Amino acid sequence: MKYSAPALLLALALASGCSLFPSKSKKAGPPKLPPAAEIEAEFHDRWIDRRAHELLAAGVAKTEEEAKAMAASEFAKQFPFIRSSAARSGR
C-alpha cells in the first residue's frame, strides 16, 4: 500500500506525454537573410517596381516584363555596389 501512491503518480506522469520535460521543436523554416542583405533586397525590389511603373506610364515600355527588364538594367548601372543576387534570393 505504501508503494502504490508513488507508482501511480509515476505512471500518471509518464502517461501524460512527458509534459514534465518540455523540449523545443526544431522546425525548419526558410533561411533568414542577414539584416543588410534583407534591406538591399527590399530596396532592389521596390526600386524595380517603381521604375517599371514609371516606364509603363511614360510609354517607353509596352509590357510589364519589358519594363522590369529595362528597370533591372538601369538599376545595375546606377547601383553597381548592391548585389542583385541577394535581392533575387531574398524574395
CA distances (Å), 46 to each of 5, 7, 52, 79, 87, in order? 66, 64, 10, 14, 10
Q: What is the pTM of this model?
A: 0.59
pLDDT by position in tens, the chain (length 91): 566 777 766 766 666 665 556 667 777 778 888 999 999 999 999 999 999 999 999 999 999 999 999 999 999 999 999 876 544 554 4
